[in-house]
Amino acid sequence: MERVKLHSLAQDSCRIYFWRTSGKKTYALDFVEIQDGRMQAFECKLSAGEKAKPGPDFAAAYPDCPVRVVSPATLLKVWLEAENASGPV
C-alpha cells in the first residue's frame, strides 16, 4: 500500500500491476510499476534476506526489468529512493 500512496501523492500517473503465471507451478510478483516508459518490479517479503522468484517467463518477457525485494527493514530506503528520483512528494 505504501507504493500506491507514494504514486497517489506524487500524482505521477504510474501504472501498477500484479504479475502471476498459471499452471502447476505458479510465479508471482506483488507490484509491477510502469512510469515514463520504465518498468520495475517489487516482491514484498517479511525478511530482507529473501529473494524474489518471478520465474523464467517474467525474465524472458522483461529481461531489463529490475526486480527488488521490499521488506519492513528496507521500506523506508525504497520510499526515499523513489522520492528523490521524482522530487518531493
pLDDT digits (tens, 9 = 90+) for 20-71: 988 888 888 988 999 888 999 999 899 878 888 888 999 999 999 999 888 8
Q: How far apart are CA 1 and CA 21, in angstroms?
A: 22
Kindly compute the dihedral angle of the four CA atoms of residues 61, 65, 71, 77, in this order, to the nearest 10 degrees: -170
Q: Please answer whether residues 4 and 18 qualify as being in contact, where contact means their C-beta atoms are separated by less than 8 angstroms.
A: no
pTM for the structure as a whole:
0.75
Beta-strand runs (E) in 36-76: 38-44, 67-70
Q: How far apart are CA 82 and CA 89, in angstroms?
A: 9
Please report which confidence band the pLDDT of residue 5 belongs to, taking 50, 70 and 90 as the band edges.
Answer: confident
